[in-house]
């Protein structure tokens, strides 16, 4: 991923508002963006968070005051400096190509240079856990050297992401025993899918600082996911953080998606706490139990992390789920036989390829139709016929007939862009009866094969929050897309009709 200056400033502002203690902002001099960033931060610091610069210890072939990369990296006006150095003997001899003693001198000289220049000095002991297994005496000596040189905190790094919680716990306890007055942190990678568990083990063993990223973004398999670690520490372990109050914790969901939008990496739907599926219930038994007591299938109240409960309707749904959905849509309690008919209808359509838990718009339409709400728009006829012999490109003959509030309208058109043309035809027919109707903002159209002869089309529209409609059609992709778009227009007209009716009732 690539960050612009505005990307970084935006993320820093989000983290600052949320209450993150330390924000490691980048490496001054390593690239133009980071250099400009630290120049900006020199003039305007965050309100809550402290900014940390990041840099390596000086180059082995140069002295501490003649290494231009090191001097540029530490020439920043921020309160915290994080230096990383080698703590694994294999990395020292094979990676740096120096003796073990020379590596200790490099670490000591680099930290001593920074000691008087920053309020807080952090040493990242790179590959600490691999080093501890290979040569525990040397790795412990690295930690002691860093402390003697003025490091305020030693961060123990699982750089390869291969450790397990028990190994983390044992190592932190060992270091605390060897250096009882030292403050330790932990930096985890997620290559074994244990970064959050390892961080929890480090905290339980006495480490005070956890490093990670929002949504766990990072090299290879990512870093410790703060969107999982922070609520677990606060809600399950009882830890207090300096700035992250209960009110700020309730902004976690928004923070996750705001950062995801900046970095252009979507939040996984299965991500704990903030993923769309984290508090989603589908099975009928689960929904019935959650409606009685949320704790039956939820480990925390979703509102505490800014989330909400999703009860989706599908072929697995029962009467409890349908009743809840009807209440959301403003319907009064329905009779048992009506609920049973609606459940049966959903199951029947699901067997034909409809997926109502992913198409809220189509589900609402089905419910409105089944409960007798009048439909403004009915597609009476739709033909999308390819004309392979016409011209050099693929042309289609489009025929569309709709009934709108009792008015029958019909249009025919030829086009090499049938889906776009269909939208124009449909909008034109609707506006011939309702001139004020605004076109829908279509965000995405996706077509997927359902079986050997049928396609399923999904259309996502922007209507406040994104809403999705769906249609199943024969093997013609274009026809499936047109039907799904018509589904969205039917919903929009139905929604406007119900909103107007509700407003009149209130008046």
Q: Let me know if the fold of 5-245 is the same as that of 377-506.
A: no
What string of pLDDT tens digits covers the 507 residues of the chain?
Answer: 789 999 999 999 999 999 999 999 999 999 999 999 999 999 999 999 999 999 999 999 999 999 999 999 999 999 999 999 999 999 999 999 999 999 999 999 999 999 999 999 999 999 999 999 999 999 999 999 999 999 999 999 999 999 999 999 999 999 999 999 999 999 999 999 999 999 999 999 999 999 999 999 999 999 999 999 999 999 999 999 999 999 999 999 999 999 999 998 999 999 999 998 999 887 767 777 877 888 888 999 999 999 988 777 777 777 777 787 778 777 777 777 778 888 888 888 888 888 888 888 888 888 888 776 666 788 899 999 888 766 667 889 999 999 987 788 999 999 989 999 999 999 999 998 889 888 899 989 999 998 888 899 999 998 877 788 888 887 788 999 999 999 999 888 888 877 766 665 665
Q: Where are the domains of the chain?
A: 5-245, 377-506
Nearest 10 degrees: CA dihedral of 445, 446, 452, 453? -10
Give the Cα separation of 425 and 422 in Å (integer).
5
Q: Residue 441 pairs with which residues in a beta bridge?
A: 462
Q: Name the CA radius of gyration of the chain, rounded.
A: 30
The tokens for 448 are 């997927």
Which CATH superfamily does the domain covering 5-245 fall into?
Aldolase class I (3.20.20.70)
Strand partners, 446: 458
Q: What is the CATH number of domain 377-506?
A: 3.30.160.270
Output the six-digit token pair for 347.
């199951």
* SS3 letters across 342-370: HHHHHHHHHHCCCCHHHCHHHHHHHHHHH
Buried/exposed 301-319: b ≥16 CB within 10 Å, e otherwise: ebeebbbebebbbbbbbeb
Report whether 34 contacts 26 (CB < 8 A). Answer: yes
Specify which residues 384 forms β-bridges with. 398
- In eight-state DSSP terms, residue 439 is P
Listing DSSP states for 9-32 in one string gives HHHHHHHHHHT-SEEEEE-BTTBH
Rounded Cα gap, residues 227 and 210, in angstroms: 12
């Amino acid at each position: 991923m690539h960050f612009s200056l505005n990307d970084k400033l935006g993320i820093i502002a989000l983290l600052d508002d949320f209450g993150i203690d330390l924000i490691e902002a980048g490496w001054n001099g390593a690239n133009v963006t980071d250099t400009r960033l630290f120049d900006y931060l020199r003039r305007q610091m965050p309100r809550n968070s402290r900014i940390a610069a990041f840099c390596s210890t000086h180059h082995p072939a140069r002295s501490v005051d003649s290494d231009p990369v090191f001097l540029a990296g530490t020439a920043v006006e921020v309160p915290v400096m994080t230096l990383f150095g080698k703590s694994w003997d294999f990395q020292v001899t094979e990676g740096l190509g120096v003796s073990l003693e020379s590596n200790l001198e490099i670490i000591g000289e680099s930290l001593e240079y920074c000691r008087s220049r920053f309020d807080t000095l952090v040493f990242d002991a790179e590959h600490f856990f691999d080093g501890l297994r290979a040569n525990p005496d040397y790795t412990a000596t690295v930690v002691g050297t860093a402390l003697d040189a003025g490091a305020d905190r030693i961060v123990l790094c699982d750089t390869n992401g291969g450790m397990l919680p028990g190994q983390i716990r044992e190592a932190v306890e060992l270091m605390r025993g060897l250096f009882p007055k030292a403050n330790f942190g932990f930096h985890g990678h997620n290559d074994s899918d244990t970064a959050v568990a390892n961080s929890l083990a480090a905290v339980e063993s006495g480490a005070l600082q956890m490093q990670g990223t929002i949504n766990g973004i990072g090299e290879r398999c990512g870093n410790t996911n703060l969107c999982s670690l922070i609520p677990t520490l606060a809600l399950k372990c009882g830890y207090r953080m300096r700035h992250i109050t209960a009110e700020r914790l309730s902004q976690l969901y928004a923070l996750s998606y705001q950062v995801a939008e900046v970095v252009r990496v979507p939040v996984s739907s299965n991500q704990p706490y903030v993923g769309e599926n984290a508090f989603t219930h589908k099975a009928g038994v689960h929904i019935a139990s959650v409606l009685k007591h949320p704790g039956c299938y939820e480990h925390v109240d979703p509102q505490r992390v800014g989330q909400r409960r999703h009860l989706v309707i599908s072929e697995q749904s029962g009467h409890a789920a349908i009743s809840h959905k009807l209440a959301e849509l403003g319907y009064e309690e329905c009779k048992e036989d009506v609920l049973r008919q609606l459940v049966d209808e959903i199951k029947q359509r699901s067997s034909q390829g409809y997926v109502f838990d992913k198409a809220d718009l189509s589900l609402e339409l089905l419910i409105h139709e089944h409960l007798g709400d009048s439909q403004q728009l009915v597609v009476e006829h739709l033909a999308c016929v390819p004309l392979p012999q016409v011209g050099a490109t693929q042309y289609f003959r489009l025929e569309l007939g709709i009934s709108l509030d009792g008015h029958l309208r019909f249009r025919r058109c030829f086009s090499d862009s049938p889906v776009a043309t269909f939208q124009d035809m449909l909008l034109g027919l609707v506006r011939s009866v309702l001139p004020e109707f605004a076109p829908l903002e279509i965000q995405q159209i996706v077509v997927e094969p359902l079986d050997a002869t049928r396609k399923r089309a999904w259309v996502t529209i922007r209507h406040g929050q994104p809403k999705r409609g769906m249609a199943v059609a024969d093997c013609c992709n274009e026809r499936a897309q047109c039907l799904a778009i018509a589904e969205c227009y039917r919903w929009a007209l139905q929604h406007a009709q119900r909103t107007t009716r509700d407003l009149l009732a209130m008046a």
